[in-house]
């Protein structure tokens, strides 16, 4: 079927090129509401792929920016994602805690998005493994720092990060929320090691 009438309706509804409208209708057997839903779901999938965010966040921001993919992606990159044991989904407000980012050799941020970990979760489940690698050379100060600093920047090169990750993996936690939290932090760091010179843990305490 050519779906000429439906194509015109869809083009008007979503301001789509003819071929895109035709493709959506062919996939949904001419069902216009289903085609619109498929279009939006495709855009949400695109946002998730570009930003590495979760479905709930992609959908929420996409709707907030009136279904504009470009604006949604830009906004998500401008915020940090809160990663916590309680799975807090408020990415707009940051309290006390630690911002984790990937940096290049010139100490510029290279990852498009940072994660924020609330102080209570960092102190309870992560701090001992990050603190254990000190004394550690800190290139931003060009000296060896004796202790982890909870009020400013701490840098960890890939070799040190892998040691920290190995220690985190040895944690014997029974709470599934804690296990998920630890795994999210590990995945974030591991995914950035191949393209980063340092992982920064910045405390705002």
Give the pLDDT confidence score for residue 196 in this predicted structure: 95
Range of the domain at 31: 4-78
Instruction: Give the CATH number, domain containing residue 172.
Output: 3.40.1760
146 shares its domain with 51: no
pLDDT digits (tens, 9 = 90+) for 122-141: 999 999 999 999 999 999 99
110 shares its domain with 33: no
67 shares its domain with 90: no
Give the pLDDT confidence score for residue 93 in this predicted structure: 52
17 shares its domain with 100: no
Q: Is the pLDDT of residue 49 over 80?
A: yes
Give the pLDDT confidence score for residue 92 in this predicted structure: 47
Q: How many domains does the chain have?
A: 2
Report the run of H or E that residue 101 belongs to, with start and end.
Answer: strand 97-103
**What gap in Å lies between CA 11 and CA 18, rounded to an integer?**
7
**What gap in Å lies between CA 29 and CA 23, rounded to an integer?**
10
93 shares its domain with 73: no
Report the run of H or E that residue 113 belongs to, with start and end.
Answer: none
Domain edge (last residue) among 78, 95, 113: 78
What mean pLDDT do residues 131-157 have? 97
Say if CB 179 and CB 87 are below 8 A apart.
no
**What gap in Å lies between CA 133 and CA 130, rounded to an integer?**
6
* pTM of this structure: 0.75
69 shares its domain with 86: no
Provide CB contacts within 8 A for 205, sequence distance 6+. 96, 97, 119, 150, 151
Domain edge (last residue) among 78, 102, 135: 78
pLDDT digits (tens, 9 = 90+) for 85-114: 987 654 445 678 999 999 999 999 886 789
> Would strands 143-145 and 153-156 be described as parallel, antiparallel, or unpaired?
unpaired
Give the pLDDT confidence score for residue 1 in this predicted structure: 63
């Amino acid at each position: 079927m050519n779906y000429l009438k439906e194509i015109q309706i869809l083009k008007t509804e979503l301001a789509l090129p003819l071929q895109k409208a035709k493709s959506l209708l062919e996939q949904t057997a001419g069902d216009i509401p289903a085609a619109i839903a498929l279009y939006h779901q495709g855009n949400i999938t695109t946002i998730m792929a570009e930003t590495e965010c979760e479905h709930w966040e992609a959908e929420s921001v996409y709707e907030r920016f009136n279904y504009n993919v470009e604006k949604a992606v830009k906004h998500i990159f401008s915020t940090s994602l809160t990663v916590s044991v309680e799975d807090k989904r408020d990415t707009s407000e940051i309290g006390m805690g630690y911002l984790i980012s990937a940096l290049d050799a010139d100490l510029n941020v290279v990852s498009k998005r940072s994660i924020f970990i609330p102080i209570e979760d960092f102190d309870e489940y992560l701090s001992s493994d990050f603190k254990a690698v000190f004394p550690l050379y800190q290139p931003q100060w060009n000296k060896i720092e004796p202790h982890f600093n909870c009020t400013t920047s701490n840098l960890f090169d890939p070799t040190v990060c892998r040691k920290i990750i190995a220690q985190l993996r040895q944690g014997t936690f029974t709470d599934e929320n804690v296990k998920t939290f630890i795994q999210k932090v590990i995945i974030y760091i591991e995914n950035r090691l191949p393209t980063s010179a340092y992982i920064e843990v910045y405390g705002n305490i």
